[in-house]
Amino acid sequence: MRILCTGANHRSAEVAIREKLAFDADQRARALRELRGHWPEAEFTILSTCNRSEVYAARPVHGHPRLEQLHEWLREFHALAPGEHEDALYCLADADAVGHLFAVASGLDSLVPGEYQIVSQVKDAYAQATAAQAAGPVMNELFQTALHVAKHVRTETNIATGKISVASVAVEFVRQLYETLADKCILNVGAGKMNELMLRQLLDLGGARIVVVNRSPEKAEALAEACGGRAGRLERLPEHLAEADVVLTSTGSPRPILSPDMVRAAQQKRGYRPLLIVDIAVPRDVAPEAGEIDNVFLYNIDDLEQVVQSNLAHRHQQRGPADTIIAEHVGELLGSLNVRNIQPTIRALYRRMEAIADQELLEAAHKFSQHGDGEEDMEILQRTIRRVIRRMLHPCAKRLRESAGSDAARAHAAMLHELFELDQDDPPSK
């Protein structure tokens, strides 16, 4: 099997590009159906977060999609023009693709190295692919191993030491503008995990009034209650915005929910007091032009990196040990997949030899039945022939396993099928 990955992340593309490539839950479901429809023999998983949009595929060696086909499908799905943002999209195959996923799951490829939120995002992507019947045995082993590697890296290194996360960095922007949140109003838009993390950290600053707005009133009420605030109404968002001093937003909206006109109207009502907006959604919840309005301080997910880099020296030192752990697991997984590919040929070879032996034994049994010791003679002969078969085939099977995954192993497997007319139920992997 071959494992492929194509996509873009915060290292290869700015947020304006990433939001064009993002998948919401409905888009992921539709994309998985479309991929399976195009290439039914392959397996797929889509990982889409604020920092990345990636498509993973597993297919037979000589099957489809090719890496360039997967790359082109991603561009067409998001309606990118030919050549548009081509430099932002990367293509990875086999060990590079596996190593990349393991690094992603371990938090090494995150905006904040070692952050834990990515683990649940990888789990969700895998669960959705499984529910859509797009993930088969290879994707199952790949993503289960990725989650195991993430745990191994966190256990054996200090990559997650210190309270550094996207949420904590967002709160740092608040600290930079306001010494205290006493008598300030925080408007939170969205009710996801990141919203909760940001609000809980802001509670440590004390004194703020919190208003939570979400498309689902029930979720808004639950989060507001958990954080000591009150639930607002989405249809009254302009009014809530005019009351706010700090806006935190992270929703799954495919288009901005705070327009420049809405922000400008709120600022006029507020007398143009400083307004801090932290938008960590991808696609962005706030139109970038809103940041040009007087006394509006707008930060998006990419802006957080400036604060992150000044606090991560220790975590970067852990990258070497983490990379070593990942490399070991990449080798183990690929070795396991390669042996799995060669096993059908080995089983077919044994079945073929045993079928020949059974034919010979039937003829011998007829001959042995002509004298009194025939039953005992038959048992002896059966054991003898099967031992002979095992001894004859053991060196061949051992070498096939040792060279599994190589071009030589695939050639040898194909040759064995042809020379010994092995069952076509277990063809050599291509």
Catalytic residue among 50, 91, 185, 227: 50
| CB contact at 8 A, 352 and 426 | no
Distance of CA 305 to the CA centre of its chain: 21
Catalytic-residue membership of 50: yes
* Cα(76)–Cα(82) distance, integer angstroms: 9
End-to-end CA distance of the chain: 7
* Cα(361)–Cα(107) distance, integer angstroms: 60
- By the 10 Å C-beta count (0-12 exposed, 13-18 middle, 19+ buried), 32 is classed as buried
The pair of structure tokens assigned to 416 is 């064995």
Residue environment code for 210-224, b if the CB has 16+ CB neighbours within 10 A, otherwise e: bbbbbeeeebbbbbb
- Of all residues in the chain, what percent are helix, strand and coil, respectively (each to 5)? 55, 15, 30
Provide the greatest CA pair distance for the chain.
113
* Cα(192)–Cα(181) distance, integer angstroms: 23
Residues designated catalytic: 50
